[in-house]
A and B are shown apart, each in its own frame.
Chain A
Amino acid sequence: DIQMTQSPSSLSASVGDRVTITCRASQSISSYLNWYQQKPGKAPKLLIYGVSSLQSGVPSRFSGSGSGTDFTLTISSLQPEDFATYYCQQSYIARTFGQGTKVEIK
């Protein structure tokens, strides 16, 4: 099984901050890496697919990068509506999610 490890597990940030979340796979997953945003009581929402492609309707302040085993989600200027939990997910072999990163208000 491919394990996905996110860091940090949580972070506190202010509106306007640049936020970076990392995701490491236990083996190479090519470009099969996606990012989701989840707010309390709601279903996850697709943000980024295929490492760096922005899902339609997602603001351009979200971006993804990386290759092989190491990947990053960046929010260039944190907005009030971005406080949520973020998950990475691989689909190279079966499908596995990271444990999540909770972005909280500082």
Chain B
Amino acid sequence: EVQLVESGGGLVQPGGSLRLSCAASGFTVSTNYMSWVRQAPEKGLEWVSIIYSGGSTYYADSVKGRFTISRDNSKNTLYLQMDSLRAEDTAVYYCARVRVTTTYDTFDIWGQGTMVTVSS
């Protein structure tokens, strides 16, 4: 079964750090584009970051310089290292597989999400 399972969320103080993990099963993380999307409480979806199969990484302006996306091929796991956290980073964080062709590019598999709360 194709599945993504996130972990690592929790309560952290402003300025702190947290690392989210996303374990994949049923497919190989390293041969796919993988992404993080977040959703603040009672708000819409916001794209956060993406890592291409070749290793290139891109970030939303709101997290650039503070968040780092990476993967461990041996563990088939995606990560999001979040540093210098702010209250506005409070959200449910979803990992998602990105299915890409020459005519479309879509988030086709989603994890269940992990909650990150930034508060003192």
Q: A31-B104, A95-B35 are in contact. Are A44 and B110 (CB under 8 A)?
A: yes
Q: Note all chain A residues with C-beta closer than 8 A to B99.
A: 49
CB interface residues, B 73-120, toward A, < 8 Å: 94, 99, 103-108, 110-113
Q: How far is the CA of A31 from the CA of B94 in the complex (A)?
A: 24
Interface size class of B (residues with CB under 8 A): 20 to 34
State how many angstroms separate the Cβ of A71 from the closest Cβ of chain B.
13
Q: Is B104 in contact with A43, judged by CB distance below 8 angstroms?
A: no
Q: Is B72 an interface residue (CB 8 A)?
A: no
Q: Is B11 an interface residue (CB 8 A)?
A: no
Chain B interface, DSSP helix/strand/loop, else mixed: strand
Q: Is A72 an interface residue (CB 8 A)?
A: no
Q: Is B50 an interface residue (CB 8 A)?
A: yes
Q: Is A83 an interface residue (CB 8 A)?
A: no
Q: Is A50 an interface residue (CB 8 A)?
A: yes
Interface size class of A (residues with CB under 8 A): 20 to 34
Q: Is B44 in contact with A100, judged by CB distance below 8 angstroms?
A: yes
Among the listed A45, A95, A99, which residue makes an inter-chain contact with B50, where contact means beta carbons less than 8 Å apart?
Answer: A95
Q: How far is the CA of A87 from the CA of B44 in the complex (A)?
A: 8
Q: Note all chain B residues with C-beta closer than 8 A to A45.
A: 110
Q: Is B47 an interface residue (CB 8 A)?
A: yes
Q: Is B58 an interface residue (CB 8 A)?
A: yes
Q: Is B44 in contact with A46, judged by CB distance below 8 angstroms?
A: no
Q: How far is the CA of A96 from the CA of B60 in the complex (A)?
A: 10
State how many angstroms separate the Cβ of A26 from the closest Cβ of chain B.
16
Q: Is A43 in contact with B108, judged by CB distance below 8 angstroms?
A: no
Q: How far is the CA of A8 from the CA of B74 in the complex (A)?
A: 45
CB interface residues, A 28-52, toward B, < 8 Å: 31-32, 34, 36, 38, 42-46, 49-50
Q: Note all chain A residues with C-beta closer than 8 A to B107.
A: 34, 36, 44, 46, 89
Among the listed A44, A46, A55, A98, which residue makes an inter-chain contact with B94, where contact means beta carbons less than 8 Å apart?
Answer: A44
A residues adjacent to B (C-beta < 8 A)? 1, 31-32, 34, 36, 38, 42-46, 49-50, 53, 55, 87, 89, 91, 94-100
B residues adjacent to A (C-beta < 8 A)? 35, 37, 44-47, 50, 58, 60-61, 94, 99, 103-108, 110-113
